[in-house]
Amino acid sequence: MFSYDRYLHFRETDAAGVVYFSEVLNLCHEAYEASLRAAGVDLKAFFSATGTTIVPIIHAEVNFFKPLYCGDRIWIDLTLTIPDPNPNSKHDSSISSEFELAYKLYTTPDRSDRPVAQAKTRHVCVTPATRQRQDCSLYLGEWMELLQTTVP
């Protein structure tokens, strides 16, 4: 697990003063980037299409339980799940070419209350030139190790 915290900005709110729904995915992606940086991943190279791997998001979902407002401090806990390779898949079943990140957003540092929101993003690792799936751990092994050992 990886934990990330920050304050919410006015630009992230809607006309009602509540954090706009799509901003929650932006906040989660910000936590994802922070976790990559903490593992020593070169973000410029990682998010460049000229690298050896690209990692698009193929699914995203968000659930809201309580409004968030400008000035709120939030804590985002990010956990990694690597699904078992699917033997019925069209790609090589011996590799883990996908991973899922689960996010829980809290307004208390001790996480004593229910999360105010939860999100998930599913990612797939592919080779840029061929768009063929590849083993995520070949490129993201250190980051995956960090997420499996780090606690908030």
The residues annotated as belonging to the active site are 14
Helix (H/G/I), strand (E/B), else coil: 106: strand
CA neighbours closer than 13 Å in the CB half-sphere of residue 30:
15
- Residue 119 Cα distances to 3, 66, 83, 101, 135, angstroms: 14, 14, 17, 8, 24
Contact 97, 124 (CB under 8 A): yes
Helix (H/G/I), strand (E/B), else coil: 59: strand
- Give start and end residues of each alpha helix (H) in the chain: 21-38, 43-46, 137-149
